[in-house]
């Protein structure tokens, strides 16, 4: 074999090793198509969505005086006091639930804010992997930046669903177009309506909110027509966000998902503290 051919083979092998190691060290951790970060520090709560499909980087900053709900019994807290509370209670991972239950935003990664800010290359690589990041950097001049700030949740609530579903929801979820029916089997009124609002902020179509059948044994259930749904981004977000048992139910309409919320679910999130 000639020296030139040996060189070509060596380069190919080297690149293969580099690709394998970099993929293992920086795997793609995205729940959907977009990179989604939630950042908290001091007086600031921020969410960032980097979308290749939209060629957009969307940022949403939540003002320090805005109160957000912490599921599980802690109730409502100012954003400006949130970091201190989570540190004191040693529950920093609650930030994922805070993003989901208040804004329909289930992040891929939590970033504790420092001088580097929210949404930098190191944070993107951690979520999307080195090769997807390189592709982003090569085309970053094509991306548009859009920024929003929420300073009054009650005043801005009318536009919040529209803005979040349009700018911050995952591109794959929007493309999948899953239709949801949300059923309240608990004794708590308004539970299905609250979750329906969350799903709409997440970019999903809620076609029915109603009281359900007799309460099941599980905390909550996701029912779908067939197992094809298990590979969807919508399933990953619903499963991680809610923590429900999932099952195939041939009675479910094609393209729809039924969500049953039982009393155990209302108790798990301490729904009375929301109202």
Average confidence score pLDDT of the chain: 86
Q: Check whether residue 105 and residue 131 sit in a common domain.
A: yes
159 with 195, same domain: the answer is no
Count: domains in the chain = 2
- Residue 233 in any domain: the answer is yes
Distance CA 45, CA 39 (A): 6
Q: In this structure, is residue 85 part of a structural domain?
A: yes
Alpha-carbon distance of 179 to 207, in angstroms, equals 6
Distance, in Å, from the CA atom of 91 to the CA atom of 88, rounded to the nearest integer, reads: 8
Tell me whether residue 15 is in a domain: no
Residue 183 placed within a domain? yes
Q: Of 108, 143, 168, which closes a domain? A: 168
Domain edge (last residue) among 133, 168, 203: 168
Distance in angstroms (rounded) separating the CA atoms of residues 7 and 23: 24
Distance CA 242, CA 192 (A): 13
Residues facing residue 221 across a β-bridge: 245, 260
The CATH number for 262's domain is 3.30.70.2390
For residue 66, being part of any structural domain is answered with: yes
Is 138 a domain residue? yes
- Clarify whether residues 160 and 194 are in a common domain: no
Query: Is 161 in the same domain as 42?
Result: yes
Whose CA is closest to 245, among 213, 218, 215?
218
Report the CATH number at residue 77.
3.30.420.590
Domain span holding position 155: 35-168
Distance from C-alpha of 165 to C-alpha of 198, rounded to nearest angstrom: 10
Which residues are within 8 A (CB) of 88 and not within 5 positions of it... i.e. 6 or more apart? none
pLDDT of residue 27: 54
Please tell me whether residues 158 and 186 are part of one structural domain: no
**C-alpha–C-alpha distance, residues 35 and 46, integer Å:** 14
Give the residue-averaged pLDDT of 117-142.
88
Q: Does residue 10 lie in a domain region?
A: no
Same domain, 120 and 73: yes
Residue length of the chain: 275
Taking only the tens place, the pLDDT of each residue in 163-218 is 999 999 999 999 999 999 999 999 999 999 999 999 999 999 999 999 877 667 78
Pair 63, 99: CB distance under 8 Å:
no
pLDDT band of residue 9 (cuts 50, 70, 90) is very low
Please say which residue of 111, 143, 168 terminates a domain: 168
For residue 194, give both structure tokens: 């609250």
Judge whether 40 lies within some domain.
yes
Q: Do both 245 and 209 map to the same domain? A: yes
**pLDDT digits over 52-85, tens only?**
999 999 999 999 999 999 999 899 999 999 999 9
Q: Across the strands, what pairs with 184? A: 211, 261
Strands 67-70 and 75-78 turn out to be antiparallel
């Amino acid at each position: 074999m000639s020296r030139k051919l040996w060189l070509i083979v060596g380069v190919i092998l080297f690149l293969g090793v580099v690709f394998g190691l970099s993929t293992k060290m920086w795997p793609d951790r995205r729940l959907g198509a977009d990179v989604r970060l939630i950042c908290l520090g001091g007086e600031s709560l921020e969410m960032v969505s980097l979308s290749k499909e939209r060629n957009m980087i969307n940022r949403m900053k939540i003002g320090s005086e805005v109160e957000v709900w912490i599921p599980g019994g802690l109730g409502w807290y100012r954003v400006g006091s949130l970091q201190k509370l989570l540190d004191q209670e040693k529950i920093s991972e609650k930030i994922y639930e805070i993003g989901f239950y208040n804004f329909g935003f289930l992040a891929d990664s939590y970033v504790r804010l420092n001088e580097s800010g929210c949404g930098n290359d190191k944070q993107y690589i951690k979520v999307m992997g080195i090769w997807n990041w390189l592709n982003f950097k090569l085309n970053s001049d094509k991306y548009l930046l859009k920024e929003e700030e929420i300073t009054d949740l009650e005043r801005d609530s009318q536009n919040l669903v529209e803005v979040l579903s349009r700018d911050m929801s995952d591109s794959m979820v929007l493309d999948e177009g899953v239709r949801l029916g949300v059923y309240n089997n608990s004794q708590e009124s308004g539970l299905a309506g609250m979750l329906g609002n969350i799903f709409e902020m997440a970019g999903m179509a809620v076609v029915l909110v109603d009281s359900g059948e007799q309460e099941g044994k599980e905390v909550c259930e996701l029912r779908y027509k067939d197992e094809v749904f298990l590979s969807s981004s919508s399933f990953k977000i619903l499963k991680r966000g809610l923590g429900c048992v999932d099952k195939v139910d041939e009675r479910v309409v094609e393209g729809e998902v039924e969500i049953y919320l039982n009393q155990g679910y209302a108790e798990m999130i301490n729904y009375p503290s929301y109202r």
